[in-house]
Structure 1
Amino acid sequence: MVRPYAVTRGRTRPDGREFDLIALVVADIPADADPPVGPEPAAILDLCRGDALSVAEIAAEVDLPLGVVRVLLGDLLDAEYIRVSRPVPPALLPDEHILQEVIDGLRAL
């Protein structure tokens, strides 16, 4: 078993960015890129190769603490091995009242 601080080389936060729990991550490895060093980043890339997964899902699948996964994702993003889609801010989501009117309208059809 490797201690979390060894996996992240003593870092506790990703460099320059924070990852929301619901941010979606998908692998985007260039053909001429060298594979990442270490089994943990490789496991993350394997998980995200087919479908986009949230940060929380990745942490659960690789069985690592969330902070460790965020640091590893920051490294992978810096190396351009992944793409991250930010969640939609609540202010941009449709109002609940509008959605209820749409549902009522569809039921009336």
Structure 2
Amino acid sequence: MTGRRGGRPLVPAYLSTGGVARPSRSHLERLSVLTAAGPPAPAELPAAGLALLDVLAGGSLTVVEAAALLRLPVSAVRVLAADLIDRGLLLSRAPIPAADRFDPDLLKRVADGLRALKH
């Protein structure tokens, strides 16, 4: 997982996933939040899976954040995360939905009210 000076990883991403190309869970998105579930990692876990658990030891991260820290493609981290979820080592939750659009008229009225209080 550590890179060379040129920036290319020593191990190709498809080898990090054991040659698996698609995650077993299709609901994992780029912004899905991953959290370590708590049980200790088994000894037979691949190095990339251990690295993902290590990155998540400090708290929760999105799939894309974990990919950036591991210097792996998002698709590879989705495969790794799905495998760890299947083993009960990770928990995932859907991305936080985007907030509803604000009402510009309401904001204008609040700003006018604050100006009126100031004077």
State the TM-score, normalized to the length of structure 2.
Answer: 0.71
What is the number of residues matched between the two proteins? Answer: 104
SS of 1:61's partner is helix
* C-alpha deviation, 1:89, in angstroms: 3.8
- Overall identity of the aligned pairs, in %: 29
Instruction: Tell me whether 1:97 sits opposite 2:103 in the alignment.
Output: yes
Cα offsets for 1:83-105 (capped at 9, x unmatched): 11101344xx434118x54x927
The answer for the alignment partner of 1:10 in structure 2 is 19
SS of 1:2's partner is coil
Q: Distance in 2 between matches of 1:18 and 1:35?
A: 27
* C-alpha deviation, 1:14, in angstroms: 0.3
The answer for the alignment partner of 1:19 in structure 2 is 28
Cα offsets for 1:57-91 (capped at 9, x unmatched): 0000000111111100000010111111101344x
The answer for the alignment partner of 2:92 in structure 1 is 84
* C-alpha deviation, 1:35, in angstroms: 4.7
* C-alpha deviation, 1:4, in angstroms: 2.0
Q: Distance in 1 between matches of 2:102 and 2:88?
A: 37
The answer for the alignment partner of 1:60 in structure 2 is 68
Contact 1:28-1:49 within 8 A present in 2 as well:
no
Computing the radius of gyration from Cα coordinates, the structure with the larger value is 2
Gaps of 5+ in 1: none
The answer for the alignment partner of 2:52 in structure 1 is 44
State the TM-score, normalized to the length of structure 1.
Answer: 0.77
The answer for the alignment partner of 1:29 in structure 2 is 38
Gaps of 5+ in 2: 1-9
- 1:64 partner letter: L
- 2:56 partner letter: C
After superposing on structure 2, the runs of 4+ consecutive aligned residues of structure 1 that deviate more than 3 Å are: none
Q: Distance in 1 between matches of 2:55 and 2:25?
A: 24
